[in-house]
Amino acid sequence: MTINLNPPRGFRDLYPPEKQIQEYIFDKLKNTANLFGFSFYDGPILENIAIYLDKTSKELIQRQTFSVKTKNETLIMRPEMTPSLARMIANKTGQLNFPLKLFNLGLRFRYEAPQKGREREFYQADFDILGSDSIISDAEIINTAVKIFTSFGATEKDFVLYINSRQEMEKNLLKLGFSKKIYKQLLEIIDKQDKVSNDSFIKSLLSVDNNKQRVKKLVNFLFSTRQEVSSYFVELFSILKKLKIDKYCQVNYNIVRGLDYYTGLVFEIKQKGPFQLKRALLGGGRYDNLISNFNPKNNIQGVGFAASDVAIWEFLQTNKLLPNTFPAKTKVLATIFDPTLIDTSIKIVNLLRKNNISAEFYLDLKKLDKQLKYADKKGIPYVIIIGPEEAKSKVYKLKNMKTGEQKTFDEKKLIEFLISN
Amino acid sequence: MTINLNPPRGFRDLYPPEKQIQEYIFDKLKNTANLFGFSFYDGPILENIAIYLDKTSKELIQRQTFSVKTKNETLIMRPEMTPSLARMIANKTGQLNFPLKLFNLGLRFRYEAPQKGREREFYQADFDILGSDSIISDAEIINTAVKIFTSFGATEKDFVLYINSRQEMEKNLLKLGFSKKIYKQLLEIIDKQDKVSNDSFIKSLLSVDNNKQRVKKLVNFLFSTRQEVSSYFVELFSILKKLKIDKYCQVNYNIVRGLDYYTGLVFEIKQKGPFQLKRALLGGGRYDNLISNFNPKNNIQGVGFAASDVAIWEFLQTNKLLPNTFPAKTKVLATIFDPTLIDTSIKIVNLLRKNNISAEFYLDLKKLDKQLKYADKKGIPYVIIIGPEEAKSKVYKLKNMKTGEQKTFDEKKLIEFLISN
């Protein structure tokens, strides 16, 4: 039987060069979490389907999940983290120190058609603030989202953070004369508008409220009004200004987000520039009723967002924000001249590692030029050459692989040099 | 409907205190990988079942996996990494720089009964050396395994690394007069001996070869002979001695490992001490035919091992090798005295973060003692108290939460103090 050597569709093989890029992205995300005081947590990859029902988007759960049947239950591969987080918070009533700032970096799975910036398996970084309904928390979560992108060197030319509020939207729909019963349907249609033509967008709106004038007013409102017209936005932007991030932010009534559990603030980051991803780079909002849904005794508010590594990666690549090269982790290769000199190579490498200097000895008995080629291809900056004389004298030749320069050192000097270079 | 707030059986919720321990374990594993020159890689969580058939243990694939049915295929949640690694190496014929030292830290899934040191979802660290069949590679992989445990502060009193070889075992079975046809069955029975009584172990052996004398000889060989009797072990131990790790290692003919693809060296680390885990803390071996199974043109040898975070965690806990406390990531909390002073708190926190000092402002307008209690519970070592006077004078009070001591600083001095303390 011939085995297909590729990963399943929508899944990724990350060889060292690609994994290095992913680790670069992960490190930035973790650094932002640490700098802003978010504590790391994690939950299971498989969850009972019950935690998603009536919370997450129906489409997501019914059609876009991978499910696993065991003897006793049907489990879902988590498509997002927030329901797991809500379950975990609800399960520790009275045992947590609020406000709680939480960070998760973990795998999510969606059974969707893979495309640019979207895979079936991807990592998401989730940042959440639990147990605070203050506008300061809304501002801090937006601040964190902006910091992620500026930490990669992105500027206001590269991205914009759009802000809206479900509450403000409902006030506006009321003002425009729509019936409260159809709010949810209207928001769902607005959420999907960028996937359809203008005409079919208007047709969809008319299908839930046949009043053409009202629908026209709504469309005008969505497309033209982008100023701060509510006291909530005015206050929020005054804090964003103090945080010096108002230049990245913009009110946008078209942003309503697809998940059912949002109750107030919703926001997303979109790429700017010629190769713009349709999909949001990051999205989130306030979900004040989600945890009490799990445990009515536990009325804990939440606000947070999630960003996928696949979308960030695509963004960094198209906006030329990825480093050109990553330094090799190994600093020194000790060559093995011949079988009798293995001892010395091993001894030197042991010594270097003891001093926390990343080092390798070559693993086979091959010619010196093959060993140097290995170091060169792996990007190892220094090679120690140990011949019979060096082994005897304990004075070693260190070759700088970039310049070709060779220096000799005794053991003590060698370590000093490698620590400071 | 009441929702079960616990994770599925065999899956873990990791709240910040537990996640901190897991991150501590992950950091040690990653540091060892970097220090020894292993490059990070990753593959998908879901794999086609074909990559496991006739390679991994049958038991593992038939009964102990989670499987996922999509429209077009049946995928397996990876129970181990080596088959994925072999697939990936086979898929890049001629494009990789050998010998290749690879490291993966990722999730694995096994549908087994959860018990001490074993969950259905767990992380495994996989270390592999590809493209070298030298005994130096065997020694280096053992060296890496030992380093993981010594990096946690474990000594030869805490653990032992048992070494055997499938090749040597076959030679010995031949010497004892067993038919080549039943080698595999015999190794399978030996692999499972610690799960059954002595009597039923011997019965199982007799069921494949009815010669009582031969079986008796085999049992004597397994239980009594632990010295180095082969040239392979003699040479291997001479390198382990040079690496200064021979004191952790011991030949043990009972160790054959359960996976079908091993061809030479097999080894595992076992806990020592009164609360010893039955399960191995780490296991691995040489698999020289696995990659050519995927692609006959690609004859790449391999040697490696895997260690699970759950087993390491259990080991560290019972052998008292876990740190008692972990420092908080946040260094400073800026309190918010009243709404008019939010600006100053935000400004100070912005300034600290800009200087790479982890800082938070309190997210609600609550009494000062509540804010101090938050810092105390989270373990934040410093609190900045900003009243109306401090906001005016720009000279701030910094409170050391452990000693209660208060010092005053202007902005510049504050940053200098926090960077150096």
Nearest alpha-carbon partner for A373 in B38, B97, B34: B97
Strands B46-48 and B74-77: antiparallel
Q: Is A149 on the interface with B (CB under 8 A)?
A: no
CB of B329 closer than 8 Å to CB of A37:
yes
CB of A262 closer than 8 Å to CB of A286:
yes
CB of A236 closer than 8 Å to CB of A163:
yes
CATH number of this structure's domain A16-318, picked from the four choices 3.40.50.1360, 3.40.50.620, 3.40.30.10, 3.30.930.10? 3.30.930.10
Which residues in chain B have their CB less than 8 angstroms from residue A1's CB? 50
Q: Is A275 on the interface with B (CB under 8 A)?
A: no
What's the average model confidence in pLDDT over B397-415? 96
* d(C-alpha B329, C-alpha B380), whole Å: 8
What's the average model confidence in pLDDT over B227-243? 88
Confidence of residue B56 (pLDDT cuts 50, 70, 90): low
* d(C-alpha B397, C-alpha A12), whole Å: 51
Across the interface, of B11, B47, B244, the residue whose CB is closest to A44 is B11
Beta bridge partners of A306: A126, A283
The pLDDT assigned to B118 comes to 87
* d(C-alpha B70, C-alpha B124), whole Å: 26
List the B265-271 sheet strands across, edge first: B39-40, B100-109, B121-130, B302-308, B282-286, B265-271, B159-165, B249-251
What's the average model confidence in pLDDT over B155-179? 94
Q: Tell me if A48 and B8 make a contact (CB, 8 A cut-off).
A: yes
Across the interface, of B1, B34, B102, the residue whose CB is closest to A358 is B34
pLDDT tens column, B213-231: 999 999 999 976 555 578 9
Which residues in chain B have their CB less than 8 angstroms from residue A77's CB? 68
The pLDDT assigned to B37 comes to 97
Q: Tell me if A42 and B22 make a contact (CB, 8 A cut-off).
A: yes
Nearest alpha-carbon partner for B421 in B332, B361, B351: B332
Nearest alpha-carbon partner for A319 in A124, A120, A150: A150
The pLDDT assigned to A225 comes to 57
Name the architecture of domain B332-420: 3-Layer(aba) Sandwich (3.40)
Two structure tokens written together for B233:
């072990």
The pLDDT assigned to A278 comes to 79
Strands B249-251 and B159-165: parallel
Which residues in chain B have their CB less than 8 angstroms from residue A56's CB? none
Interface mutation target, options B1, B2, B3, B336, chain A, most CBs of A under 10 Å: B3
State the nearest Cα–Cα gap between B366 and chain A, in angstroms: 11
pLDDT tens column, A357-414: 999 999 998 999 999 999 999 999 999 999 999 999 999 999 999 999 999 999 999 9
Phi, psi of A411 (to 5 degrees): -60, -45
Q: Tell me if A363 and B140 make a contact (CB, 8 A cut-off).
A: yes
Which residues in chain A have their CB less than 8 angstroms from residue B358's CB? 34-37
Q: Is the pLDDT of residue B268 over 80?
A: yes
User: Regarding predicted confidence, which is higher, B151 or A1?
Assistant: B151
Of all residues in chain A, what percent carry a pLDDT higher than 90?
78
Nearest CA in chain B to A11: B44
Out of A279-283, A342-346, B59-63, B88-92, least confident range: B59-63
Across the interface, of A88, A137, A380, the residue whose CB is closest to B13 is A88
Q: Is A6 on the interface with B (CB under 8 A)?
A: yes
The pLDDT assigned to A1 comes to 56
pLDDT tens column, A83-97: 999 999 999 988 999
pLDDT tens column, B189-207: 999 888 899 999 999 999 9
State the nearest Cα–Cα gap between A365 and chain B, in angstroms: 8
Phi, psi of A118 (to 5 degrees): -145, 125
What's the average model confidence in pLDDT over B255-263? 87
Which residues in chain B have their CB less than 8 angstroms from residue A150's CB? none
Of all residues in chain B, what percent carry a pLDDT higher than 90?
78
Domain boundaries, chain B: 16-164+236-318, 332-420
* d(C-alpha A233, C-alpha B178), whole Å: 82
Across the interface, of A14, A41, A111, the residue whose CB is closest to B70 is A111
Strand intervals (E) in A205-331: 249-251, 265-271, 282-286, 302-308
Report B:279-318 residues touching A (Cβ under 8 A).
Answer: 294-295
Which residues in chain B have their CB less than 8 angstroms from residue A243's CB? 346, 350
pLDDT tens column, B281-293: 999 999 999 888 8
Strands B265-271 and B159-165: antiparallel
CB of A249 closer than 8 Å to CB of A259:
no
Interface mutation target, options B1, B15, B84, chain A, most CBs of A under 10 Å: B15
The pLDDT assigned to B258 comes to 80
Interface mutation target, options A2, A20, A24, A35, chain B, most CBs of B under 10 Å: A35
The sign of the dihedral angle between the CA atoms of B263, B269, B274, B275 is negative
Nearest alpha-carbon partner for A288 in A266, A263, A306, A305: A263
Interface mutation target, options B363, B372, B383, chain A, most CBs of A under 10 Å: B363
Within 10 A of A224 (CB to CB), how many other CB atoms are there? 9
- DSSP code at position B190: H
What is the number of CB-based contacts under 8 A between chain A and chain B? 240
* d(C-alpha A332, C-alpha A383), whole Å: 5
State the nearest Cα–Cα gap between B45 and chain A, in angstroms: 8
Across the interface, of B88, B92, B363, the residue whose CB is closest to A137 is B363
Q: Is B354 on the interface with A (CB under 8 A)?
A: no
Q: Is the pLDDT of residue A12 over 70?
A: yes
Q: Is A107 on the interface with B (CB under 8 A)?
A: yes
Phi, psi of A106 (to 5 degrees): -160, 175
Helices (H), B4-57: 16-35
Residues 6+ apart with CB under 8 A from A324: none
Q: Is B48 on the interface with A (CB under 8 A)?
A: yes
The pLDDT assigned to B295 comes to 85
CATH class of B16-164+236-318: alpha beta
The pLDDT assigned to A333 comes to 97
Two structure tokens written together for A8:
């399943």
CB of B98 closer than 8 Å to CB of B131:
yes
Nearest CA in chain B to A18: B41
The pLDDT assigned to B310 comes to 95
DSSP assignment of B234-262: HHHHHHHHHTT-GGGEEE-TT---S-TT-
What's the average model confidence in pLDDT over A326-331? 94
Nearest CA in chain A to B1: A50
Determine the longest span between alpha carbons in chain B, in angstroms. Answer: 95
What's the average model confidence in pLDDT over A116-132? 94
Residues 6+ apart with CB under 8 A from B86: B51, B55, B287, B290, B291, B293, B294, B302
Confidence of residue A261 (pLDDT cuts 50, 70, 90): confident
Q: Is A370 on the interface with B (CB under 8 A)?
A: no
Nearest CA in chain B to A121: B44
ipTM, 2 dp: 0.94
The pLDDT assigned to A153 comes to 98
Across the interface, of B22, B41, B67, the residue whose CB is closest to A16 is B41
State the nearest Cα–Cα gap between A172 and chain B, in angstroms: 28
Q: Is the pLDDT of residue B1 over 70?
A: no
Mean pLDDT computed over every residue of chain B: 93
pLDDT tens column, A17-60: 999 999 999 999 999 999 999 999 999 999 999 899 877 677 77
Nearest CA in chain B to A73: B8
Q: Is the pLDDT of residue A305 over 90?
A: yes
What's the average model confidence in pLDDT over B23-52? 97
Mean pLDDT computed over every residue of chain A: 93
Q: Is A134 on the interface with B (CB under 8 A)?
A: yes
Q: Is B268 on the interface with A (CB under 8 A)?
A: no
pLDDT tens column, A163-191: 999 999 999 999 999 999 999 999 999 99
Q: Tell me if B19 and A12 make a contact (CB, 8 A cut-off).
A: no
Report B:225-264 residues touching A (Cβ under 8 A).
Answer: 239, 242-244
